[in-house]
């Protein structure tokens, strides 16, 4: 996708996350100089398979697996520092050299132990089905202007004083929610002491770094986490994550202007999954759901939770094309559908008996929609060996053509397996 006029590409999830962005980023990173994560935190889990080795990356961009790529954790990310260093150590143990190739924005907010305690306590009453990684409470602190940022580690004494106040506040909230767990001030101070020497050498104004790279004609990939339907503005609120997962978040979260972005690639599964609670209009009957889950290995990369599964929902993807300004689609996991005799596609909805081809804003309406389906013939042949569109069975091509028509954006990639080489560039 990179070319003389395409230097900056955003890759976003166009459904509920877990679409296989990690693999697409891995493929595109081969031609990229920089890969930047711009939102979310350790709630994400990007699985990349190289040969027999499997890497699950949570906060470090998948570009780290390409030697020539510089990786950036942008200002829009909420950084869980301990998990971050565990990931770095895990990569080193597998022989991946990261020194001098990973930078963290000094404006990124830190996820601290008290955020995780608050996340778990809120979950008892809110029941969103969060990953429990402290994401919501950290973004609450950020927007409430109470957060602690990576750059604050440069001033340990004053930051510790602020943190003491934050911990006391968190403990009051925890007590109000009837919890028994208490955040420890000493533990938080000790954490800062431990972190500062290791994190500060990686901390920079990464927005400036990315801006300069683009000026010099370098190729930059902006890597989103989760998916459009989990966006705090555009998703199935309140069953969403706490950041802007859509492409607009890429500019603010990477620290560059939106005019720098040339293309936005939306990654979609050939069917639909969701982990966590909230509406999922095309959720299949339990038997089909189980089959899709088994064939697609649909268990959360971070939490191991079984994902809810259903057919492709074109209303969701059409909406995603609109709110992300998608210039192309990457369809993943086509091979998971290889054995089905028929493949239904949700074309639009009926809401209280009336046709509805867009996403209602309120979750109550979305819970009431009835998807309308079109059933396409299955291909009942393996697609895992296909490397060109012409290698695909005609029924599989017809299926993809229909997804493209209904979604309103051209398909640029089709992924037919977990391995790096199992991809078709259209
Ligand atoms: P949180 O991001 O942990 O606050 O969780 C909010 C919602 O987003 C829950 O439904 C999670 O299951 C979902 N979620 C968060 N991260 C991911 C992801 O990477 N993939 C899929 N779902 C996610």
Q: Is the CB of 129 under 6 A from ligand 1?
A: yes
Q: Which of 49-53, 245-249, 325-329 bottoms out in mean pLDDT, i.e. has the lowest?
A: 49-53
Among residues 303, 302, 383, the alpha carbon closest in space to that of 58 is found at: 302
Q: Which atom of ligand 1 is nearest to the CA of 277?
A: 10
Give the tens place of pLDDT for each residue, 215-233.
999 999 999 999 999 999 9
Q: Which atom of ligand 1 is nearest to the CA of 119?
A: 4
Asked whether residue 31 carries a pLDDT value surpassing 80, the answer given is yes
Report which protein residue has its CA nearest ligand 1's atom 15.
43
Q: Is the CB of 118 under 6 A from ligand 1?
A: no
349 CA from centroid of ligand 1 (Å):
25
Cα angle, residue 48 at apex, residues 47 and 49 outer, rounded to 5°: 125
pLDDT band (50, 70, 90) for residue 117: very high
Among residues 426, 378, 421, the alpha carbon closest in space to that of 398 is found at: 378
CA distance 269 to 54: 20
Name the CA dihedral angle for 182, 187, 189, 192, rounded to a multiple of 10 degrees.
-120
Q: Is the CB of 348 under 6 A from ligand 1?
A: no
Q: Ligand 1 pocket test: which of 13, 44, 230 has the largest number of ligand atoms within 8 Å of its C-beta?
A: 230
CA distance 228 to 199: 31
Report which protein residue has its CA nearest ligand 1's atom 16.
43
Q: Is the CB of 273 under 6 A from ligand 1?
A: no
265 CA from centroid of ligand 1 (Å):
21
Show the DSSP H helices in 177-265 as ranges.
185-199, 206-215, 248-254
Helix and strand element counts for the chain (H, E):
12, 20
Cα 277 vs. chain centroid, distance in angstroms? 17
Q: Is the CB of 222 under 6 A from ligand 1?
A: no
Q: Is the CB of 17 under 6 A from ligand 1?
A: yes
Q: Ligand 1 pocket test: which of 239, 241, 273, 332 has the largest number of ligand atoms within 8 Å of its C-beta?
A: 241
CA distance 417 to 336: 8
Q: Is the CB of 344 under 6 A from ligand 1?
A: no
Q: Percent of the chain scored above 90 by pLDDT?
A: 90
Asked whether residue 194 carries a pLDDT value surpassing 80, the answer given is yes
Q: Ligand 1 pocket test: which of 134, 136, 275, 301 has the largest number of ligand atoms within 8 Å of its C-beta?
A: 275
Q: Ligand 1 pocket test: which of 130, 135, 269 has the largest number of ligand atoms within 8 Å of its C-beta?
A: 130
Q: Is the CB of 46 under 6 A from ligand 1?
A: no
Residue-averaged pLDDT of the chain: 95
CA–CA distance from 305 to each of 230, 273, 282, 362 (Å)?
17, 12, 19, 26
Cα 161 vs. chain centroid, distance in angstroms? 34
DSSP SS3 for 395: helix
Q: Percent of the chain scored above 70 by pLDDT?
A: 100
Q: Is the dihedral of CA 176, 180, 185, 189 positive or negative?
A: negative
Exposure pattern of 139-166 as b/e (b: 16+ CB <10 Å)?
Answer: bbbbeeeebbbbbbbeebeebbeebeeb
Give the tens place of pLDDT for each residue, 295-319.
999 998 778 889 999 999 999 999 9
CA distance 301 to 157: 37
276 CA from centroid of ligand 1 (Å):
7
CA distance 354 to 185: 56
pLDDT band (50, 70, 90) for residue 168: very high
pLDDT band (50, 70, 90) for residue 48: confident
245 CA from centroid of ligand 1 (Å):
11
Exposure pattern of 230-244 as b/e (b: 16+ CB <10 Å)?
Answer: bbbebbbeebbbbbb
Asked whether residue 47 carries a pLDDT value surpassing 80, the answer given is no
* Catalytic (active-site) positions: 18, 46
Provide mean pLDDT across the span 168-179.
94
Asked whether residue 46 carries a pLDDT value surpassing 90, the answer given is no
């Amino acid at each position: 996708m990179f070319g003389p006029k395409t230097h900056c590409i955003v890759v976003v999830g166009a459904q509920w996350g877990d679409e296989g962005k990690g693999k697409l980023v891995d493929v595109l990173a081969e031609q990229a100089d920089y890969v930047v994560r711009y939102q979310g935190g350790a709630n994400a889990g990007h699985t990349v398979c190289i040969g027999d080795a499997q890497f699950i990356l949570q906060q470090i961009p998948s570009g780290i697996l390409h030697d020539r790529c510089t990786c950036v954790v942008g200002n829009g990310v909420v950084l869980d520092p301990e998990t971050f260093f565990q990931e770095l150590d895990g990569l080193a143990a597998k022989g991946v050299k990261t020194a001098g190739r990973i930078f963290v924005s000094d404006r990124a907010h830190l996820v601290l132990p008290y955020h995780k305690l608050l996340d778990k306590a809120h979950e008892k009453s809110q029941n969103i089905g969060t990953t429990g990684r402290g994401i919501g409470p950290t973004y609450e602190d950020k927007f409430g202007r109470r957060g602690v940022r990576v750059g604050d580690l440069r001033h340990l004494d004053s930051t510790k004083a602020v943190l003491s106040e934050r911990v006391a506040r968190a403990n009051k909230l925890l007590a109000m929610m009837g919890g028994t767990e208490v955040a420890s001030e000493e533990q938080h101070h000790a954490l800062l002491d431990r972190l500062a020497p290791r994190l500060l050498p990686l901390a920079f104004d990464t927005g400036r770094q990315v801006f300069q790279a683009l000026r010099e004609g370098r190729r930059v990939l902006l890597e989103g986490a989760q998916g459009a339907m989990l966006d705090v503005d555009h998703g199935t609120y309140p069953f969403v994550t706490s950041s802007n997962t859509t492409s607009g978040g890429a500019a603010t979260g990477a620290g560059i202007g939106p005019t720098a972005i040339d293309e936005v690639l939306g990654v979609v599964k050939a069917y639909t999954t969701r982990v966590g609670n909230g509406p999922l209009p095309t959720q299949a009957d339990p038997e089909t759901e189980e089959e899709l889950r088994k064939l697609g290995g649909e268990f959360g990369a971070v939490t191991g939770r079984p994902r809810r599964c259903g057919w492709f929902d074109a209303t969701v993807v059409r909406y995603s094309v609109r709110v992300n300004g998608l210039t192309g689609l990457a369809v993943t996991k086509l091979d998971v559908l290889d054995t089905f005799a028929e493949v239904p596609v949700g074309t639009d909805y009926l809401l209280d008996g009336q046709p509805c081809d867009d996403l209602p804003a309120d979750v109550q309406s979305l819970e009431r929609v009835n998807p309308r389906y079109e059933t396409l013939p299955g291909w009942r042949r393996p697609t895992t060996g296909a490397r060109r569109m012409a290698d695909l069975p005609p029924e599989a091509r017809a299926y993809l053509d229909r997804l493209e028509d209904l979604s309103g954006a051209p398909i640029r990639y089709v992924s037919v397996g977990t391995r790096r080489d199992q991809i078709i560039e259209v």
